[in-house]
Structure 1
Amino acid sequence: MNKSKRVQKKGRGWAVLLMLAALLVVSACSANNSGKDAGSNGTKAKTVRIGYQKYASVNIMKERGGLEEKLKEAGYVVEWTEFPGGPQLLEALNVGSIDFGHTGEAPPIFAQAAGAPLVYLAHSPESPKAESILVPENSPIQSSADLKGKKIALNKGSNVHYLLVKYLEREGLAYSDVEVVYLPPADARAAFESGNVDAWVIWEPFYSVAQLATKARVLADGEGLVKNYEFYLASRDFAKSNTKAVDVILDQLEETDKWAKDNQPEVAKLLAPALGLDAAPLEQALAHRGWGVIRVSDETLQAQQSIADTFFKLELIPSELKVSDAVIK
């Protein structure tokens, strides 16, 4: 091999090496940058895992958009997970699958009793008309007295569980006077429409959807019985270590509610495709709720303590608990 060919071969060898080196640099840069996309200051982004249910302010905030951009500025990316109800959402929080979520009043009581490391952050205003006890259109049940011995479906540990307790208490009936059947919303509606249960205690938007579709009658709603707060909760470790993210989420929820309160028909149209529902029942559901974000106070915790005490007396939770333990002091 002459000198010219040896030089050419050596040159090609260096070219290959340089190409490989360049590829390694690009690959390394891609790997290093993969976790930085959400960080406005070039630091690796953290992930906040948000659990949500169909309907309510967190769902509206997700569909409207805006939270991702605000959290990106603070160095976070978002992962969303949908749940059929509050108990299921808080079970995920308990096992560390999510960091932040929203539920009604009762689920945090059951979750705290089960040892979930949750903390209360804030809540919505009262929305007592956003849950009800439904009976079929042609049901012979006309009053509370007619419920004796009847089967009543509800999602165990949910807000409506407490509504039924307070309704029976007000009407002079014992919890044991009725047969409570624990079913999630989809199964409960099927049982309700087939006649396998006599009544259904349910929250929005399932309440309005079922009522308008089946012409079900409202035996009672939560007015005068329950406050029906929507609570915003987080795992204790997340709340303590990520105060910036918590503040961003709550601020964005407040902004979402201010917009939604004045634009309810638009909110219904926004949610309808995401929930697979018509806008009409969503408009009715939205009219039943309060809007705004209120930080948790001693008064709120005392109201939650009353729920916990009631559930303990009914042996629905295994031991007494102190609700105020579930706050960051």
Structure 2
Amino acid sequence: MTVLLIPKASKVSRRSWLKQGAALSLTAAGALRAWAQPQTTLVLGDQAGGLRALFEASKALEGVPFAYRWANFQGAAPLFEAQRSAAVDTAVAGDLPVLAAAVGRTPLKIVATRVGKADALGLVVQPDSPLQKVADLRGKTVIVSSARGSISQYQLYGALEEAGVRRDEVTVKFVLPTDAAAAFASKQIDAWAVFDPYYTIALQQGGRILRDGRGINTALGFITASEPSLADPARRAAIVQFLDRLARAGEWALANPEAYAQAYSQLTRLPIESARIITARASVTGRPVSEADIVALQVVADRSARDGILPVRVDVRAITDAQVWKRPA
């Protein structure tokens, strides 16, 4: 409540004081309306708790001027289903899943790039499997996680081409990673194309690498934002702030690898030995999308259309907005 004290000896007219009082009342009311306005909230889509672990370990989201909550998914396919239905504002995924989501008419834009290591995924077989090389997959069934258009499918097809094996000589089935992990552990699966953290877990349980992603996969990951979120000025501003904090979190993780691994282990409940391996090759740093990133992703898009992984060719530049986030130098 604002109280106006009017001196008796004042020569200022009553009308003047009332005008000033009205102005002060309007100012106070405006401040109250601003205070009462709900805070912008972002729903941050994640896969297997990886991004959340990074932020919780680094504390990079502390003090952000927006509210947020995490939405965790076991793979890119269900994550992009959520983005398609406007259940999440941002998503994190590898190169091919982003392209597959675009083909599926998910209203998204690529707004940031993350760089990991290509040995964070691969083809894994049972420890006593007679399969010794990729060429031995002829006539066999390979389980791919998590769905058509995954980075593991791209890695499998690249490995088959490298080994001179036609794709029609191998039976490919798509299974979500948690279901496939249980089947692999019980030896119901002979060959499994999968990514971290499930890849490392399979190897820790005795699985053997037939071929990893080095020389096939780009190791690029991306942050996408939904177009409706970007069209809203408040949420767009919050997304930019989130990306700024992502870069800060990545720098922290590179400087504090053990602390990051410990936090990842606690959040995911994975053994610390597995967590150290996973976090050491994870894509943690974030940076604005570069021209080189667009070109590299276009190569993946073209090859995926050629190989029938994607039904149509995706124009990467059309699904990228490099203007959203330009990190200060």
Mapped to 2, the partners of 1:318 and 1:290 lie a distance apart of 28
Mapped to 2, the partners of 1:320 and 1:132 lie a distance apart of 25
Mapped to 2, the partners of 1:187 and 1:254 lie a distance apart of 33
Q: Which residue of 1 aligns with 2:287?
A: 294
Q: Which residue of 2 aligns with 1:48?
A: 42
Code of the residue aligned with 2:301 in structure 1: it is A
Q: Which moved more, 1:241-250 or 1:184-193?
A: 241-250
CA contact (8 A) 2:116 2:281 kept: no
Q: Report the alpha carbon displacement of residue 204 of structure 1 after superposing the two structures with TM.
A: 1.3
Q: Report the alpha carbon displacement of residue 291 of structure 1 after superposing the two structures with TM.
A: 4.0
Mapped to 1, the partners of 2:288 and 2:316 lie a distance apart of 15
Name stretches of at least 5 consecutive residues in structure 1 with no aligned partner. 1-32
Q: Does 1:195 align with 2:187?
A: yes
Code of the residue aligned with 1:215 in structure 2: it is G
Mapped to 2, the partners of 1:272 and 1:234 lie a distance apart of 28
Q: Does 1:167 align with 2:124?
A: no
Q: Does 1:217 align with 2:211?
A: no
**What is the aligned-residue RMSD (CA, Å)?**
2.2
Aligned counterpart in structure 2 of residue 272 of structure 1, from 265, 279, 284: 265
Mapped to 2, the partners of 1:288 and 1:200 lie a distance apart of 20
Aligned counterpart in structure 1 of residue 318 of structure 2, from 316, 321, 325: 325
Q: Which residue of 2 aligns with 1:142?
A: 132
Mapped to 2, the partners of 1:210 and 1:113 lie a distance apart of 31
Mapped to 1, the partners of 2:82 and 2:263 lie a distance apart of 27
97 and 290 in structure 1: CA distance in 2 versus 1, 3 angstrom threshold: closer
CA contact (8 A) 2:84 2:106 kept: yes
Q: Report the alpha carbon displacement of residue 51 of structure 1 after superposing the two structures with TM.
A: 0.8
Q: Does 1:180 align with 2:180?
A: no
Mapped to 2, the partners of 1:179 and 1:62 lie a distance apart of 41
Mapped to 1, the partners of 2:78 and 2:294 lie a distance apart of 22
Q: Report the alpha carbon displacement of residue 314 of structure 1 after superposing the two structures with TM.
A: 2.8
Code of the residue aligned with 1:146 in structure 2: it is D
- What TM-score comes out, normalization by structure 2 length? 0.81
Query: Secondary structure, in 3 states, of the residue corresponding to 1:69?
Result: coil
Code of the residue aligned with 2:170 in structure 1: it is V
Mapped to 1, the partners of 2:285 and 2:100 lie a distance apart of 25
163 and 114 in structure 1: CA distance in 2 versus 1, 3 angstrom threshold: same
Aligned residues: 288
CA contact (8 A) 2:185 2:202 kept: no
289 and 162 in structure 1: CA distance in 2 versus 1, 3 angstrom threshold: same
Q: Does 1:101 align with 2:91?
A: yes
152 and 279 in structure 1: CA distance in 2 versus 1, 3 angstrom threshold: same
Code of the residue aligned with 1:54 in structure 2: it is A
Q: Report the alpha carbon displacement of residue 208 of structure 1 after superposing the two structures with TM.
A: 1.4
Mapped to 1, the partners of 2:320 and 2:300 lie a distance apart of 17
Q: Report the alpha carbon displacement of residue 64 of structure 1 after superposing the two structures with TM.
A: 4.3
Code of the residue aligned with 1:51 in structure 2: it is G
1:25-46, CA deviations, whole angstroms, 9 ceiling, x for partnerless residues? xxxxxxxx9xx9xx8x664311
CA contact (8 A) 2:50 2:264 kept: no
Q: Report the alpha carbon displacement of residue 172 of structure 1 after superposing the two structures with TM.
A: 1.4
Q: Which residue of 1 aligns with 2:200?
A: 208
1:169-226, CA deviations, whole angstroms, 9 ceiling, x for partnerless residues? 11111222211110111111122233332111111121112211x2111111111111
Mapped to 2, the partners of 1:227 and 1:307 lie a distance apart of 8
CA contact (8 A) 1:53 1:59 kept: no
98 and 248 in structure 1: CA distance in 2 versus 1, 3 angstrom threshold: same
Q: Between the two proteins, what is the percent identity of the paired residues? A: 26
Q: Which moved more, 1:170-179 or 1:87-96?
A: 170-179
Aligned counterpart in structure 1 of residue 222 of structure 2, from 221, 227, 231: 231
Q: Which residue of 2 aligns with 1:119?
A: 109
Name stretches of at least 5 consecutive residues in structure 2 with no aligned partner. 1-31, 324-329
Q: Which residue of 2 aligns with 1:284?
A: 277
Mapped to 1, the partners of 2:62 and 2:254 lie a distance apart of 22
Query: Secondary structure, in 3 states, of the residue corresponding to 2:220?
Result: coil
Q: Report the alpha carbon displacement of residue 290 of structure 1 after superposing the two structures with TM.
A: 4.6
Code of the residue aligned with 1:194 in structure 2: it is S
94 and 187 in structure 1: CA distance in 2 versus 1, 3 angstrom threshold: same
1:58-105, CA deviations, whole angstroms, 9 ceiling, x for partnerless residues? 4311454341521x2xxx211211111111111110111111110111
Aligned counterpart in structure 2 of residue 79 of structure 1, from 69, 94, 109: 69
Mapped to 2, the partners of 1:252 and 1:204 lie a distance apart of 23
